[in-house]
Structure 1
Amino acid sequence: MSTRLRKVAVGVAAVGLVVVPLGLGAGYALDTPAAPRASASASAPVAADQGFPQLTPAVASQLDEAVQKVMAEAEIPGVMVSLSAPGKGAYVRAFGVADKATGRPMSTDLNMRIGSVTKTFTVTALLQLVDQGKARLDDPIGKYVSGVPNGNRITLRELAGMRSGLYNYSEDEGFFKALTSHPRRPFTPQELLAYSFKHPVLFEPNAKFYYCNTNLILLGLVVEKLSGQKLNDYINQKVVVPAGLHHTLFPVGAEFPTPHSQGYTDQTATGKVEDAAGWNPSWGWAAGAMISDLGDMKTWARVLATGTLLKPATQAQRLNVVEALPGTGYGLGIFNVQGWIGHNGSLPGYQALAVYLPKPKATLVVMLNTDISYKGSEPSTLFGEAITKVVTPDHVFSLPAQSVTGH
């Protein structure tokens, strides 16, 4: 996910629109005209394409400067970046340290927690099952999961599009205390839903956009029911492997393959910065528990945006976004930010951004080892903005400081 655990607003970053840690973030509600239940509104506007530059040494030097400036200003321990486009070369770098205690340098082969980028895997799993005829996007969630407020009216489409009106469990005070008091404890999906369902619904289904982790927990349960498999098994076998990913994992607990970076967060019981590498991400589950690396995220950004695991008509529905903020739209578990398609993520100690620009077939991935915001902005968004200002000034990845972040 991508913003802070308890921010009142989540960012459109997680590009994901948002991203609250995991988004642990608070929810972000936006009044937009109710979209038709069967389809979303038009895509977010994008500027005229002026091309993608050759990634020459001179451009690489500009990118180095831009990345290092963000690092210095936001006090980022370490970051890795991958930027490429066919015929234009590649920019792959690691800066800073992976472990502040030992000074171990950040490198481009480290495993990282990806927070709300997990949402793109969960929704892909759901859409695969829709393609198999096992469900319809306009089925009510109550058909698959009992006890959901408005469950007979909220559809799978509205859950995936962040328009359900359900309360975001990660904004609940009791949840925050439980997580920060014992960050290594496991949570079950049912426990997470209980934190949400004790609150009244926020609005009628499809009336607004509101980034909410509760939606993805429910979709994870739907995937399990339709597939007859545990969510982690289904995603690892039916999404990760077919996508050609070799270092991507949906963990069942706190396991964290080596080599990995340590991760630094201030989302703690004391408010002091701690290393969260050993925390259990089960509280994010279908919304934010996964692990990956730079190379796999580059591959996934392309697979996700081009829809190679889905039928073309289903992919078209996923990419049919509703404008959430100027220049930014959200489809079915995916963002379109000034033309860049993908998601961002944030989990205590880690942030990620994996996006794709269709015309030049460009891929941008940023992974860093802190989720501590800078002047209200997600660090992953700051890097995305700084990098795209250099290479795609007509498509600058920009998200409002208090918008949705992707945890």
Structure 2
Amino acid sequence: MRRAALLSLLLTLTHCAAGERPPAAPTRRSTPPPQPVLRAAAPATPADAPPLVAEEPPAWLDDPERRTKLLAVVPQIEAHLGAELDRQKLPGFSIGIVIDGELAYSRGFGLSNPATSTAPDADTVYRVGSITKTFTATAVLQLRDQGKLSLDDPASRYLPELAKVVYPTADSPRITLRHLLTHSSGLPRLGRFDYSDATREVTAAEVRAAVPGTVLEYVPGTKEGYSNFGFALLGLVVERVSGRRYRDHVSAQILAPLGMSSSVWDESAVAPGRLATGHVRKDGKLKPATHWRLGASEAAGGLYASLRDMARYASFQLSAYPPRSGEETGPLRRSSVREAHTAARPAHLSVEPASAEGRYTVNARASWIGLAWHGHESCEEEEVVRHSGAVDGYSAWMELHPRAGVGLVLLSSALDTEREALLEKVRAALRRGGVTAPRKERPSPRLESAFQASVALYERFERPRYEELFTKGFLEHFSPVTFEEIVERLRKDHGACKPGALISSRGPREAQFAMACERGRLAAKLTLDAETSRISAYRFSAIAPPTEAMKRSAEQVVALASGQKKAPFQQVFSQAVDAGAVERELSALRAEHGRCKLGGSIESDGEQEHAFRLVCERGGNMVMKLRLDPGAPGRVRELDLEAAPQAGRCPERP
């Protein structure tokens, strides 16, 4: 069946003429510090020079109400966490939520030291385990940014022992630093040394000696296999290149600049009374755990830190967003932080049917690994960056919502903490409360000014102003006469209009704005040319309120589609309609989506053509487009049904 030709006035230009391009105190040790690797600085190239940039405002709009929204859901969060503390029989944990660079909420549950009945708080220190790997990646990226190494260097340049690993095939690429950072080296999870001995530290000689003869589990770069061994080796790379012990380098270059004053590398260095007692479960009972002395392998998981310190670290990570001009103030470039979060390995995709009570009709999830960090996107969440840790009686979790500017940190004193059971409902409460909603992108002042000027053209068309406002290429496709005719038709249907709020934005030069009119509403979507700041694309979307005849016809069609024949077919559709084709289409709608009810207007001209949203009982919401027959008043001449565009990335339930 032919689609109804609804009023959607698209004024857009894609112009590409020939030749044009489209627009803590260190631990003493007797061995001498490692000698730094001397790497000749590469000569400056145009790519190394500062880029030419356009001065634009921050890309996202802040939401000043988010703290209020957080406070509104805190009672739900605390009730859930208290129940989980009891259900899991945990000794204690601390949890914090970071918003816009501050620890907006924190609380301790249970006890940090059952022997003294001490309650945990934001300053209680836990071991964070493998979250340490993200500090290791930060240290490597710092050295890269200083020109002292390249991520694509063969790792054997810094650790000659790696030249003696056993590759699966003769055509295997050599292990690079990037392979180590992305857990794609093929190295096994653990090396041939014991880091769980509480009586002695692992030595660098032991770690190095474990390398020769190691058989890689797969060809480097072809798979992902989590490797503590690989990150222990990266710690030795940091030592070799920086010229000092890994822990000393990280403490001086990352912890100190971020003010992480409670973060240390040894149990004995924690301030008195501040260390949470780590526990393991044996024979169903919690028992204090012994602390492993990771020594030369501590780059894989040796750091101790408080919730307050980890909140500072989360704030630093989030401060890299959005990309912007301005001074670099952190210990690592903002672009390098974002690089660490970005997918470096192909995403893993899973799609499953959702539970009946879910918001979406499917559970879809894509996950990836960056430089140490892991990430995922799902129906419920946009980009989330995360890392976990579990070591000698402790469990830890950090997740970042970059587009929201929100971080979540959990530190627990039980190795077997069911972190997902603790956090799933916390995330859901934050999501429902709008706390982790992605911030809207901010249009530039130039774009907002262009929108205001276009509304002025709507109110009173002036040819000189039109020619000043739009690009030359746009004017070649849409003459002043054509544009004025379109505007005149819109004024006839909708009356006077005033500029409204921002609807959506895709960066500083493309946005859609609302226009409140006497009859219905308009939406104006425009794009600015980057060089001239003139409008290169423009679209009016018109939504006039349905007439009584249109609304009555729509309700009758929905009744027929749901099997409720409140009016005979002949009284709903004109004789020009193919009755058999329409009845088959309505039957197919009912079979696939169940009963549907009439939703709001999507697009219309107010009298003859209209598009309504249909909200259906089995999801997969639809758009119903109707065109009335001018020769048979009140009867439908054309009907078109199509899937509704989704605001999110997964189909929502009604």
Fold shared, TM-score > 0.5 on shorter chain: yes
Deviations 1:270-289 (A, max 9, x none): 99753126443437510100
The 5-angstrom pairing of residues 253-292 of structure 1 reads: 255-258=269-272, 259-266=274-281, 273-276=286-289, 278-282=291-295, 284-292=297-305
Q: Does 1:348 align with 2:392?
A: yes
Deviations 1:242-283 (A, max 9, x none): 2232211234x76443311101024x8x99753126443437
RMSD: 3.0
The 5-angstrom pairing of residues 2-401 of structure 1 reads: 54-55=68-69, 57-86=71-100, 90-148=104-162, 149=165, 153-169=174-190, 175=194, 179=196, 182-192=197-207, 194-195=209-210, 199-251=214-266, 255-258=269-272, 259-266=274-281, 273-276=286-289, 278-282=291-295, 284-307=297-320, 308-321=330-343, 322=345, 323-324=347-348, 326-338=365-377, 339-373=383-417, 379-392=418-431
Q: Distance in 2 between matches of 1:387 and 1:228?
A: 43
> Residue 365 of structure 1 aligns to which amino acid in structure 2?
V
Deviations 1:163-219 (A, max 9, x none): 00001216x6x74xx73xx43321124424545655421000001011110111111
Q: Do 1:354 and 1:365's aligned partners in 2 also have CA atoms closer than 8 Å?
A: yes
- Of Structure 1 and Structure 2, the greater strand share is in 2
218-227 vs 357-366, which moves further: 357-366
> Residue 394 of structure 2 aligns to which amino acid in structure 1?
Y
The verdict on how the C-alpha distance between 1:273 and 1:197 changes in structure 2, with shifts beyond 3 A counting, is: farther
> Residue 376 of structure 2 aligns to which amino acid in structure 1?
V
User: What is the TM-score when the length of structure 2 is the normalising length?
Assistant: 0.47
Q: Distance in 1 between matches of 2:181 and 2:308?
A: 26
What SS does the aligned partner of 1:65 have?
A: helix
Q: Distance in 1 between matches of 2:265 and 2:348?
A: 29
Percent identical among aligned pairs is: 27
The verdict on how the C-alpha distance between 1:218 and 1:279 changes in structure 2, with shifts beyond 3 A counting, is: closer
Q: Distance in 1 between matches of 2:306 and 2:101?
A: 23
The verdict on how the C-alpha distance between 1:59 and 1:212 changes in structure 2, with shifts beyond 3 A counting, is: same
The verdict on how the C-alpha distance between 1:125 and 1:102 changes in structure 2, with shifts beyond 3 A counting, is: same
138-147 vs 182-191, which moves further: 182-191
> Residue 257 of structure 1 aligns to which amino acid in structure 2?
A
Shift of 1:90: 2.5
Relative contact order, CA 8 A, sep 6+: which one is greater? 1
Q: Distance in 1 between matches of 2:285 and 2:132?
A: 27
Shift of 1:119: 0.6
Q: Distance in 2 between matches of 1:60 and 1:311?
A: 34
Shift of 1:65: 1.4
Q: Do 2:236 and 2:296's aligned partners in 1 also have CA atoms closer than 8 Å?
A: no
Q: Distance in 1 between matches of 2:334 and 2:113?
A: 43
Larger radius of gyration between Structure 1 and Structure 2: 2
What SS does the aligned partner of 1:208 have?
A: coil
Q: How many residues align?
A: 333
Question: Counterpart in 1 of 2:504?
Answer: none
The verdict on how the C-alpha distance between 1:56 and 1:140 changes in structure 2, with shifts beyond 3 A counting, is: closer
The verdict on how the C-alpha distance between 1:88 and 1:226 changes in structure 2, with shifts beyond 3 A counting, is: closer
> Residue 142 of structure 1 aligns to which amino acid in structure 2?
S
Shift of 1:140: 0.7
The verdict on how the C-alpha distance between 1:279 and 1:222 changes in structure 2, with shifts beyond 3 A counting, is: closer
What SS does the aligned partner of 1:363 have?
A: strand
The verdict on how the C-alpha distance between 1:345 and 1:335 changes in structure 2, with shifts beyond 3 A counting, is: same
Deviations 1:27-71 (A, max 9, x none): xxxxxxxxxxxxxxxxxxxxxxx9967345541110001212222
Shift of 1:361: 0.8
Shift of 1:85: 1.8
Shift of 1:363: 1.6
Runs of 4+ with >6 A deviation: none
The verdict on how the C-alpha distance between 1:89 and 1:128 changes in structure 2, with shifts beyond 3 A counting, is: closer
Q: Distance in 1 between matches of 2:176 and 2:103?
A: 43
User: What is the TM-score when the length of structure 1 is the normalising length?
Assistant: 0.73
Unpaired runs of 5+ residues, structure 2, are: 1-62, 168-172, 321-329, 350-364, 378-382, 438-654
> Residue 370 of structure 2 aligns to which amino acid in structure 1?
G
Q: Do 2:318 and 2:405's aligned partners in 1 also have CA atoms closer than 8 Å?
A: no
Question: Counterpart in 1 of 2:356?
Answer: none
Question: Counterpart in 2 of 1:399?
Answer: none
Q: Distance in 2 between matches of 1:391 and 1:312?
A: 26
Shift of 1:142: 0.6
Q: Distance in 1 between matches of 2:124 and 2:103?
A: 22
Unpaired runs of 5+ residues, structure 1, are: 1-49, 374-378, 397-407
Q: Do 2:263 and 2:303's aligned partners in 1 also have CA atoms closer than 8 Å?
A: yes
Q: Distance in 2 between matches of 1:112 and 1:64?
A: 21
